[in-house]
Amino acid sequence: MTSRIVAWAVLLFLPLPIVIVVLSSFTSAGYLSFPIEGVSLRWYAEFLGSADWLKVLGTSALLALIGALVSTGASFAAAWAVVRHGVPLGGSYETLLLTPLIFPHAAIGVIMIVTLAGLGWLGTFTGLVLVHCILTIPYAYRPVAAALRKADPALEEAAASLGARPWRIFWLVSLPAVRPGLVTSLLFSFIISFDEVTVTMFLVGPFVMTLPVQVFSEVLESASPIIAAVSAALVLFTSLMVFVLDRVIGIQFFVERD
């Protein structure tokens, strides 16, 4: 009985901060507070009416889109080599791909400042794309590799015995067989990139800024409820993506072991 109460308490507590943020975004007051004093949509209007906020929203969306495409493509190529061709040390290679997950983000941030400065990409959009690819590859790799492991190699042989040449086999059989994995990879790396703060804040500059980092710096300077509105929009957007993912493929595809 007690364990049941604890379980419910945890389940209720987990989304509580999100609920508070969303509720406080509807305040009519000029400062961030909870409980709210009056109900209004003025901060949403302010968010969507601000060229600065829309610009960083655009930057984040484009960054996440390019990052998702690149890291999913790279993950597919890597998984193809490891799963299909059994490259030597494939297992170690897979572990290596997952290291950005366990490496401290502060350390990655510092390393990336040095690396990007060396490349002349510090404070540029290109630099952010590179870093976001590194950060999202662990999320992109697993679903693609799992889908490839599940796919029956006999399908490709069957297509060959029916006269299909290698490129047709790839487009007509291999790729459709791993489509759920590819969609999962794309959505997950998009979400991870779109919400990334810790490493990105080391690397932004006067010419490039992302939405979550902008939220963070706003919090440091002021307590404007516009931050709550932006955050609530982010929550809504992310939930929407997860909902789509669940509908299209089923969320357990990502959660289960490969």
Partner 1 sequence: MTSTQTRADPILRIESVTKSFGSFTAVRDVSLEVGEGEFVTLLGPSGCGKSTLLRMIAGFEQPTSGAIRMRGQDISQQAAYDREIGMVFQNLALFPHLNVFDNVAFGLRARRRTEGIDRKVREMLALVGLEGFETRGTAQISGGQRQRVALARSLVTSPDILLLDEPLSALDLKLRRQLQGELKRIQQDTGITFIFVTHDQEEALSMSDRIAVMNAGRVEQFGSAVDTYHRPQTEFVARFVGETNLLRGQVHAADAARVTLRLDGLAAPVAVAVPLPAGETPPGQGDPVAISVRPEHVELGRPGLHTCEARVTSHSFSGATITYALDSAAGPLLARVPFQPGQGHPLPDGQSVSAGWPDEAVTLIPDQPGHDTTDKEI
User: Which residues of this chain interact with partner 1, rule CB under 8 A?
Assistant: 152, 154-155, 157-166, 168, 172-173, 176-177, 179
SS3 of 200-249: HHHHCECCECCHHHHHHHHHHHCCCCHHHHHHHHHHHHHHHHHHHHHHHC
Supply the minimum distance, in Å, between the C-beta of residue 171 and partner 1.
Answer: 11
Nearer to partner 1 (CB atom), residue 4 or residue 85: 85
Supply the minimum distance, in Å, between the C-beta of residue 231 and partner 1.
Answer: 39
Supply the minimum distance, in Å, between the C-beta of residue 168 and partner 1.
Answer: 6
Q: Which token pair is 116?
A: 């990007």
Nearer to partner 1 (CB atom), residue 152 or residue 246: 152
Nearer to partner 1 (CB atom), residue 165 or residue 257: 165
- Measured in residues, the chain has a length of 258
Nearer to partner 1 (CB atom), residue 9 or residue 162: 162
Supply the minimum distance, in Å, between the C-beta of residue 174 and partner 1.
Answer: 11
Residue type, 243: F
* Residue in the block written with tokens 């941030």: 109
Residues 6+ apart with CB under 8 A from 244: 187
Nearer to partner 1 (CB atom), residue 183 or residue 203: 183
Supply the minimum distance, in Å, between the C-beta of residue 173 and partner 1.
Answer: 6
Exposed, middle or buried, 135 (CB in 10 Å: 0-12/13-18/19+)? buried
d(CA 42, CA 49): 10
Q: What is the DSSP string of 131-146?
A: HHHHHHHHHHHHHHHH
Nearer to partner 1 (CB atom), residue 165 or residue 247: 165
Q: Chain-centre distance of CA 225, in angstroms?
A: 25
d(CA 93, CA 178): 21
Supply the minimum distance, in Å, between the C-beta of residue 166 and partner 1.
Answer: 8
User: Apex CA 158: angle with CA 156 and CA 162, to 5°?
Assistant: 115
Supply the minimum distance, in Å, between the C-beta of residue 77 and partner 1.
Answer: 21
Nearer to partner 1 (CB atom), residue 2 or residue 161: 161
Q: Which token pair is 48?
A: 């969507």
